[in-house]
Chains A and B, each alone.
Chain A
């Protein structure tokens, strides 16, 4: 949603967000509001800044040298770039799932319990065990792995690994889950499973997904934002944006003229 006046009803609000990689102006004055418990899709051609924008929402860009960020990103009413905000705490509340499934080379069990134990969300023993079960159930992986919780997470198939990564993210109890092209490394069947999973997760979490696949955006998202060369060109409900895009660039992209 484009900003106009009161923004307090939104889960995430980016205001006049500018980002430079050295001399490269990668995000240009982006204003975007994201609703709670919806799936918001960020689409656009390669290099348009959609992944960069996503990584601003949990301060992952802070890890890159020579990045300068101006503007505000307000999550739950607090600017996460304020001086009194610790970026580690931000990433705990705003979890992230990556393009390549990246489970730790540890057991499935440890993959899930490692971060919650560090954050002291649960204690070792039965608490941790029930967290593993509930997280894997939420990620739709429980029935497939319940008999091999102590085998390495890396021994699973690609789609299962990605669901393990989602389960691992859920286990930290975030309120927002960012997904950076979560299915682009997966086959169509695994992709379908993950899309179904995202539809279920929408009931509990605010999800922001970057995708190259417009059909995917159309299938699963409630709102869509179209980026082009670092600018947010158009945003609206998915239905609206795909049915009658207002901007010429959006039209061309959606109709497949480029991208």
Chain B
């Protein structure tokens, strides 16, 4: 040791501290990752059965009587097996296709949720007689689990096998369109004004502080604001994507403003100088040079704001977008619900079949969020200025 001129007795201890710190950091990452993976695994495991749905093959007789008493369209022993919601639709089917009247058709029709849960091995309240009947159908291959198109094509329903996510997806998309149409232009213009044009005085500081505070306000307060201003004062229709979008736009605005300002600030001052040196006006420089360079950053910030708005439930509960809305909205002034509100509604339903639908709804939200974030990363990588 003593003949080593580089020997330093304190180093061993210092290296060990560094090693310990590294180890602890890794453990904390592992811990977080573990929770995330557990959550994802549990969600996917719970949601997977929702992709399948029980169908049963049955002879449907479209008689005059079936129009009034839809249950009579199927043989008596099938009445507990076939979905009530599907039976209710028989009169409409006959209206749309008058040729059906008087015919008897062998069809695969949606099965009742209890049957569905029984086939999936979950809890059910079927009687022994019914179970025996289903077992007989199984041996005859006239009952099966198949792709659950209903979930993606239907709106909400109080009958579990008939409930779908579609109206919530459309509601969310419409709400987000309204949010972005309002928040993006206003937010970007505010940021451009504050960053490029506004004088640095007490009034701008006041505005700045308020914008930053706005970002920290609990979202439910925005809901109250939306309720009192947009619905009560302006008289806009409640529960609609228009009001929901406007409310979420208020919430998203500060996020867009703050991120857009950061993006504008990161544009090198030398670009502005170059423009002035050529006798360009401020507007030329901002419009054609500064904003295009900042655009990837602005878009990234806006998409992150949008992603946050998509997951928002509290303000939308206040303005009535939590209501039971079975129909897919056709415009922004029709009543609608959104994805997280739909998940919230399903989570509170007593039937076992809603559990898998709740999980599937969460997966749909996650997929949308992940694709939005991926879009943000893609846009940033594609359009960022290379110096």
Contacts and interface: CB of A to CB of B under 8 A. Distances in A.
B12 interface: no
Interface string A52-80: 00000010100101000000000000000
Interface in B191-206: 199-200
A165 B270 CA distance: 12
Contacts of B284: 118
Contacts of B387: 105, 154
B279 A104 contact: no
Given A65-B199, A154-B387, A98 B270 contact: yes
Interface string B354-387: 0000000000000000000000000000000111
Interface in B291-345: 293
Contacts of A169: 277-278
Contacts, number: 64
A102 B276 contact: no
A27 interface: no
A159 interface: no
Contact of B278 (A63, A95, A100, A154): A95
A97 B277 contact: yes
A114 interface: yes
A105 B294 CA distance: 12
Nearest to B279: A92
B352 interface: no
A151 B276 CA distance: 24
A88 B281 contact: yes
A140 interface: no
Interface in B227-285: 268, 270-271, 273-274, 276-281, 284
B274 A103 contact: yes
B271, B274, B277, B289 — most chain A CB neighbours (10 Å): B277
B128 interface: no
A212 interface: no
A89 interface: yes
B278 A102 contact: no
Given A100-B270, A168-B274, 18 more contacts: A65-B199, A88-B279, A88-B280, A90-B279, A91-B276, A91-B278, A93-B279, A95-B279, A96-B277, A102-B271, A102-B274, A104-B289, A105-B271, A105-B293, A114-B278, A114-B288, A118-B280, A152-B386
Nearest 10 pairs of A and B residues by beta carbon: A92-B279, A96-B277, A102-B270, A115-B278, A91-B279, A105-B385, A102-B274, A154-B387, A88-B281, A88-B279
